[in-house]
Structure 1
Amino acid sequence: MPSRIRSVVPGAVLATAVALLGPAGAAYAASPVPAAPGPDGGRWTAAPAPGGGARPSAQDRPYFYLEGPPGAVLDDRLSLTNPGAAPVTLRLHGGPTRSSGWLSTAAREVRVPPRTRADVPFTVTVPKDAAPGDHPAALVAEGGGRTAGVRVHLRVTGPALAALSVEDVAVERRGSAAVIRYVLVNRGNTTLAPRLAVRADGLFGPALRRAARALPVTLPPGRRVPLTEPWPDPPALDSVDVRLTVTAAGGAQGAAGATYTAVPWAAAALPPVGLLAGAAVWRVRRRGRVAEPRRGAAPTDAARTGLSRSAPSCTALSSTGTNT
């Protein structure tokens, strides 16, 4: 049977003590709410209960934050608001995380009358062998054809360890572009907000430089998150060492890399020696194009002769590589 909350007359606040949790006890507080639809279109909402009897809002507390040592019993209140014209029965339970099993509500079902807000107490019993650090949890309410969850940020006090690793780095070619794949793993006991820096160096110099920036993810302890990094203009012919460095508050840092070899389709049929020869010729010619002659000096006959002699040597190198 759902627990019933008696309606209140306008302007009054009702507090009824209900012994549902043994010696700790629990109390429902019900109060009227405006009949006008709220930010959720007039449907029921779930949020952390505010202090002083105020109306709950995202600006008041967007989530629960509870902190205590192993073995502690922590308590708070969940506000269920029904601005509609009909009563609603809501079922309460913990979220899918293991830490959500530490939560216990005053009742598993609550009937909220029309235009009423019900504050439902709950407790968090921290196991005596709980590891220090962050333990994400959630309270979930279901009813009236919808589901709403409220995050519970639970921290068990004790030595904090911030640690992470970067794993499974790989570069995947996609047409003229590429994508860098990797996995971030939180190896510590604190929630991390990681920052990523990327660099890539090839045979012909730097190929990519990206300064550290915040990633749009949050890593709870033990979480593995696969991520990708776009690379719209990778080199068309090069062997590149890609390096990812990830940092987070508390001194957490991890780094890993992979080698990426770019070969044009036309050159794929050449043997390795031919590819190296062709790369060497390309590099020499590229340097020759960007080199500037000495100011005010015209090319001498010897210089012109040297240039004319250099071409056959390069041709011979390419030819030798091709025939090998």
Structure 2
Amino acid sequence: MRSPTVALRRLTLILLAGAIALVGAPLAPAHAAGNGEWAVTPTPPKKPSPAPRQYFFLDARPGTTITDSVRIQNLTKESKTFEVYGADAYNTERDGGFGLRTKIQTHIGIGIWTKLPVEVVTVPPRRQADVPFTITVPPNATPGDHVGGIVVLEAEPKGQVERDGVNVAIQRAVAARVYLTVAGPVVPGLAVSELEAHRPTPLLPTVGDGTIDYRIENTGNTHIAPKITITSSGLFGHEVRQTTPLPQLDLIPGASVQMTGKLAGIWPVDLVKVTVEAEGSEGISASRTDRELVVAWPVLLLLLLIAAATAWWIQRRRRARRPVPRGMRNNKQLVEAR
């Protein structure tokens, strides 16, 4: 039977885990439209265009303030309460996913420039609420794109996961992205800074799979959704297939993301050539090529043994067919007779 101290300690851990989840747990992936229970979109104008806004695309000069409004739709049959705030965007280091920072993380752009009249909003069932906000651009703001979002976070955690033996509450969020362009020189830039193709050393002479690791960087001051193209081939130009779906990236300025892909059709002894190209809609592009020598050492050893045995057999045949002068043959017979 557990002692009261142990039980109290476990209860404290659970309560602390819940408190941490309320203020510091990572957000669930944010979506531009909704998650089936609530949706977040830009408030439509009084005279809506045929194509409704899915994101905020805004322009401003340094030192100015712009005003807009976000619409929160409650799609359920019960009232819902949300926390609302502005947040900076980021790309995950691995795979380049688009994310928005939590409320307690450090913000340097949209997250601190955005002000809302309320922090908590309650929306009745099957109703919607339009929440105005302002974005004040500092006088020293750098030109180019600043990316973030208006985040609508459920006020109470729903669901739990276990981490390190304790239950941690999860809060879900939905967001509308904000793309704010600050007036000034615009310099788009892309780079494929790393590329490596490799296949684990095969033990058997079979066609196998490999992987490629590459890094895409947004080196300019505009957000870029690059089109990624990967081409690959093997020894003598034989087909090596890229089997991973090509990524759909939305890179904020300064983003550097590591990507991974899979290759199929690599021979046990092969020279694999891979080229990764990233092309932006602004007419910029970047590419990088890598060549990887693949060797199945058991196969190579077998080939060397076969080559050595063949050379020895050819040499022996040549010696057997070599003509012997008649005098040498008679001398050999005399020696044998003695």
TM-score, structure 2 normalization? 0.59
Q: 2:109 aligns with which of 91, 99, 103?
A: 99
What amino acid is aligned across from residue 176 of structure 2 in structure 1? Answer: V
Among 216, 232, 235, the residue aligned to 2:248:
216
Question: 1:50 is paired with a residue of what secondary structure?
Answer: coil
Equivalent pair of 1:194/1:215 in contact (CA under 8 Å): no
Q: Which amino acid aligns with 1:99?
A: G
Match of residue 110 from structure 1: 121
Question: 1:46–1:261: structure 2 CA closer, same or farther, 3 Å change rule?
Answer: same
Post-superposition shift, 1:171? 1.4
Question: What is aligned with 1:250?
Answer: 282
| 1:123 paired to 2:128 | no
Superposed CA offset, 1:154-185 (max 9, x none): 12232222211112211131561112111111
Q: CA separation in 1, counterparts of 2:238 and 2:120?
A: 62
Q: Distance in 2 between matches of 1:202 and 1:84?
A: 55
2:148 is aligned with 1:137:
yes
Q: 2:178 aligns with which of 152, 164, 167?
A: 152
1:67 aligns with 2:99: no
Q: Shift of residue 117 of structure 1?
A: 3.1
Aligned residue number for residue 35 of structure 1: none
Q: What stretches of structure 1 of length at least 5 have no aligned partner?
A: 1-38, 279-310, 317-324
Q: Does 1:51 align with 2:62?
A: no
Matching residue of 1:178: 210
Q: How does 1:1-324 map to 2 (within 5 A)?
A: 43-52=37-46, 60-82=52-74, 87-97=79-89, 98-101=108-111, 102-113=113-124, 116-143=127-154, 145=156, 146-173=172-199, 176-200=208-232, 204-205=236-237, 208=240, 215-269=247-301
| Equivalent residue pairs, number | 238
CA distance in 1, matches of 2:313, 2:185: 64
1: distance between equivalents of 2:313 and 2:115?
Answer: 78
> Aligned AA for 2:109?
S
Query: Partners of 2:44 and 2:121 in 1: how far apart?
Result: 19
What percent identity do the matched residue pairs reach?
30
C-alpha contact 2:67 2:134 (8 A) present in aligned 1: yes
Residue 71 of structure 2 aligns to which amino acid in structure 1?
A: S
Gaps of 5+ in 2: 1-33, 90-107, 157-171, 203-207, 316-338
- Structure 1 contact 193–214 (Cα < 8 Å) conserved: no
* Aligned mates of 1:234, 1:265 — CA distance in 2: 15
Q: Rate the CA distance shift 1:40–1:202 in 2: closer, same or farther, 3 A.
A: closer
SS at match of 1:233: strand
If asked which structure has higher relative contact order (CA below 8 Å, sep 6+), I would say 2
In the alignment, the residues of structure 1 paired with residue 67 and residue 216 of structure 2 have an alpha-carbon distance, to the nearest angstrom, of 33
Q: Post-superposition shift, 1:265?
A: 3.6
Q: Secondary structure at the match of 1:218?
A: coil
The verdict on how the C-alpha distance between 1:245 and 1:118 changes in structure 2, with shifts beyond 3 A counting, is closer
Contact 2:217 2:256 in 1 (8 A): yes
1:64-98 Cα offsets, whole Å, 9 max, x none, are: 22111222211101123346666543321122434
Q: Alignment partner of 1:71: what SS?
A: coil
What SS does the aligned partner of 1:204 have? helix
Give the aligned residue type for 2:46.
Answer: G
TM-fit CA distance, 1:137? 0.7
Residues of 2 paired with 1:86 and 1:66: CA distance?
A: 34
Q: C-alpha deviations, 1:266-311, integer Å up to 9, x for none?
A: 235489xx59x97xxxxxxxxxxxxxxxxxxxxxxxxxxxxxxxx9
**SS of alignment partner, residue 182 of structure 1:** strand
Aligned 8 A contact 1:48 1:150 in 2: yes
Change (3 A) 1:314 1:104: farther
Q: Is the 8 A contact 1:92 1:142 kept in 2?
A: yes
For 2:11, the equivalent position in structure 1 comes to none
CA contact (8 A) 1:78 1:119 kept: yes
